[in-house]
Structure 1
Amino acid sequence: MTSLVAQAVQMQGGALSQSIGTAVARQQVDAQKAVAALVAETAASASPPAPAGQGRLVDRTV
């Protein structure tokens, strides 16, 4: 009987550890997505448009 209780406690402990691990992994993924969105938003708003005429002609003289 004691070994049966010990097995049940061990299984519950493993299930709890797995649940906590899953929750932590989800939080990390959500945090990474939030940081990526913030970086993309900052990069889009931080870069000013190119001055008129820039990027249209390629100077190939050496």
Structure 2
Amino acid sequence: MTAIAAQAVQMQAGALAQSIGTAVARQQIDAQKAVATLVAETASPPAPAGQGQFVDLRV
């Protein structure tokens, strides 16, 4: 019975570590998006309408 309890504790610890890792990764991604947005907003003015919208239709 002790082996089963130890295995259950290890599984719970692994699940907790995974959820913490996921939360940290999401926080880092959100922070990077916020920085990218800030940089984009403070960069040079946006391109005129239609500029940079070239579509290559070659096959």
Displacement after TM superposition at 1:48 (Å): 2.6
- After superposing on structure 2, the runs of 4+ consecutive aligned residues of structure 1 that deviate more than 4 Å are none
Q: CA RMSD in A?
A: 1.7
Instruction: Give the corresponding residue for 2:22.
Output: 25
Q: TM-score of the superposition, structure 2-length normalised?
A: 0.75
Deviations 1:10-52 (A, max 9, x none): 00000000000000000000000000000000000002367xx
Aligned residues: 49
Aligned to 1:40, the other structure's residue is in SS state helix
Q: TM-score of the superposition, structure 1-length normalised?
A: 0.72
Any unmatched runs of 5+ in structure 2? 50-59
Aligned-residue identity in percent: 22
Counterpart of 2:31 (choices 28, 34, 39) is 34
Q: Which has the larger radius of gyration?
A: 1
Amino acid of the residue matched to residue 6 of structure 2? V
